[in-house]
Every structure is written in structure tokens, then in C-alpha cells.
Amino acid sequence: MEIRLDGRTALVTGGSKGLGRAMALKFAQAGADVAILARGPDALAEAERAIKAGSNRRVLALPCDVSKAPEIEAAWRKIAGELGKIDILVNNAGTSQTGRFEEVGDALWQDDLDLKLFAAIRLTRLALPGMKERRWGRIINVLNIGAKAPRPQSAPTAVSRAAGLALTKILAGECAPHNVLVNALLVGLIASDQHVQRIAKEGGDVAQGLRDMGKRVPLGRIGEAEEFANLACFLASDSGSYVTGTAINVDGGMSPVV
């Protein structure tokens, strides 16, 4: 089955590295024009070059801290001016902030909610009117498996992700009559810049460190960003036209909850 996104335009937050960059590249290779948002201009510029080199589509890379409402609004105006519409929104920006509940202060809670939950709310609010008017849209919320099965010492990120899961289900029900499909993809252990940096910071061998992480996965290996992007591309396409309101684990079997 060939999955195509010809004529579509996608917006991916956290699009300069890891999963976000892999999804943006996959969408462009499938025929979509792509906008990517992230905080680091250097990484954005590198991602823009790589996506353009891997496809023949338009790519718009904008520095934006999506935890801040004014920056979201400014980026949205720029995207609307240059690309005209957004058919596919991927709310992917986020970090893994974890700790013991009693050690997590208000500032960290607020930062986490602003980045992971309110960014998705604000961008979805901007994207929905056009999607509903055109009677076609896809929204993908990238969460993690802690949204379904939170572990001890996983606050605040597990709480933010669980809220994203609830948001996904609410939006799916409200948007279905308008042919706007809303789903969540839940990350397990997938090779990413975050893991690579952590292993390198600890002075370990990155390749061995990733192999060791993979031993915790029933499939016996850590996942690849491209594998995650393949599923996102399916959900973003007409091939996924009867899938909405779902939260799919992309975790090699790690989650105890289906």
C-alpha cells in the first residue's frame, strides 16, 4: 500500500530533531508541504536542509517556543501567509520532566503543562476552523506510554501526557462530524536525540547504551524514529480514514496497558 499526502500541508512541532524531524521528512516524501517549529534555530536550519534534500516539497522552518502563546500566534500567521492552510497538525513538542511528587514545584508543573498540554490546545484551536471548513483534517498528539500506565516518580510528565490523552478523546468526538480525525501515538523506547545526549553526557558508548535500553523491550531492541513516522504518515493520510479517537502504543510491547 502506497501512502500519499499529495496536496496536503502539515505542521509538526518539535520538528527539528528525533521523532518530529522523522515525521516531517516522511510527510514531505509522501507529497506534503511541511512547516516545522522548534526552539533551536541551528537544528531547525539543519532539519530544513535535510527535509528539502529528501523531498521536492516546500519546507518552512520557524523558531518558536510553543509554550508561549504569543510565539504560537506569530508562527501561525507566518505559516498561513506562506503555506496557506494546515491539513495535518502534529503536536509533538515536549521533554521528559520527571521526579518525586514532593520534589516537583509549581514552576516545573506549569512549564510542563504549558509545553505539552497548552501548546496542543492553542495550536488545535487555530487549526480546527480551516479543517472543519474544508471537511478534512488530521490531528496527531504525540504522548508516551506513561499516559496510560504512569510509573512512580513520573510527575509531571505523565500527568501532562494523560491530559493529552483526554484531550485527544474529547476532540475526536467533537470533530468526527466534520471529518477531522484525532489520534494519539504513545512513545515507548525509541532512539532519539534525548537518549543519545543522556548517554553521551554520562560518558557511555551511545550505540551500546541504546542496545542496553533495548533489552527492556519485549521485541529486544529500541525503536527507530522512522518506524514511528511510518505510523504517523498512515494516520495522516486517506488510508487512515476510519481511525479516530485511538491511542496507539508504539513501544515494541513495553506498555502493560493496550
Q: pLDDT tens for residues 38-67? A: 999 999 999 999 999 999 999 999 999 999
Alpha-carbon distance of 195 to 93, in angstroms, equals 16
Computed from CA positions of residues 166, 168, 169, 175, in that sequence, does the dihedral angle turn out positive or negative? positive
Residue 216 lies in a domain: yes
Model confidence at 181, pLDDT cuts 50, 70, 90, reads very high
Tell me which residue has cell 501512502: 3
Which residues contact residue 132 at a Cβ distance below 8 angstroms, ignoring those fewer than 6 apart? 175, 178, 180
Least Cα distance to 192 among 2, 16, 37 occurs for 16
Q: Please give the tally of structural domains in the chain.
A: 1
Q: Give Cα 227 distance to the centre of its chain.
A: 14
138 backbone dihedrals φ, ψ, rounded to 5°: -135, 130
Residue 28 lies in a domain: yes
1 vs 184, residue with greater confidence: 184
CB atoms within 10 A of CB 253: 11
Cross-strand bridge partners of residue 91: 141
In this predicted structure, what is the pLDDT of residue 150? 96
Model confidence at 221, pLDDT cuts 50, 70, 90, reads very high
Alpha-carbon distance of 203 to 132, in angstroms, equals 50
Residue 56 lies in a domain: yes
Contact 8, 31 (CB under 8 A): yes
pLDDT above 90 for 198: no
Residue 254 lies in a domain: no
Rounded to 5°, angle at Cα 162 from 220 and 179: 95
In this predicted structure, what is the pLDDT of residue 212? 93
State which residues form the domain around 97.
9-249
Contact 131, 87 (CB under 8 A): yes
Residue 255 lies in a domain: no
Contact 48, 78 (CB under 8 A): no
Residue 227 sits in a domain whose CATH number is 3.40.50.720
**212-218 average pLDDT score:** 95
Residue 257 lies in a domain: no
Across the beta sheet with 88-91, the strand order is 59-63, 33-38, 9-13, 88-91, 137-144, 180-187, 247-250
